[in-house]
Copies of this chain bind each other. A is one copy, B any other.
Amino acid sequence: MDDSSLDEKSEARERSIPVGRPSKRPPHTSFRGNCVHALDDKGRVSLPSEFRRVLGDKEQRGVVLTNYVSEGSRCVEGFALDSWEDFEARLREKSRFSSKLQRLENFYLSRASECGIDSNGRILVPAYLRAYAGLDKEVVFTASIHGFRVWDKRVWDTIFAASEQALLENPDLFADVDI
């Protein structure tokens, strides 16, 4: 180890480089792509490095995970903390006693958990979310437009195949999204 590497480390510490592995590569603007990672016995899993890059400095603040049903299958949804806070702020403006809001609170909000990112770039997925989405060993991270999703690998394989099949059967499937 030479002096320059020492300098670099202390400099990084001083500039408050986010928790987790520092990254020299530039931050990304959106979550993209997908990757397969292993959940360990403690329920921890490495956040894909590409996703950590999206979080950038916000990485130190962690992510918010909650449960969701996408295309009829259970998964975990994840968001950068500040994007989740924006969402909460908009909800706070709704009528306090609205029954629709309560549905959303009881299913979605009530299961949201803020997860810090450890020094190895991992998050701890709460036991109740692992149980909900059936996350066992192999999980798949997939990008969504606002954040990302985490699936049990077998569930994801099924979902993906079904999506392709739907597109084969209806070539205008995406045209209907009105983009």
Contact = CB atoms under 8 A, between A and B. Distances in A.
A112 B143 contact: yes
- Counted per complex, copies of this chain come to 2
Residue of A100, A126, A144 with highest tally of chain B CB at under 10 A: A144
Given A28-B114, A101-B177, A91 B145 contact: yes
A159 B100 CA distance: 14
Contacts of A143: 105, 109-110, 112
A105 B33 CA distance: 10
Contacts of A28: 114
B174 A108 contact: yes
A24 interface: no
Interface of A: 28-30, 32-34, 50, 64, 69-72, 85, 87-88, 90-92, 94, 96, 99-114, 126, 128, 142-146, 149, 159-160, 163-164, 166-168, 171, 173-174, 176-177, 179
Given A30-B88, A104-B174, A110-B160, 5 more contacts: A32-B109, A34-B111, A91-B179, A103-B177, A106-B163
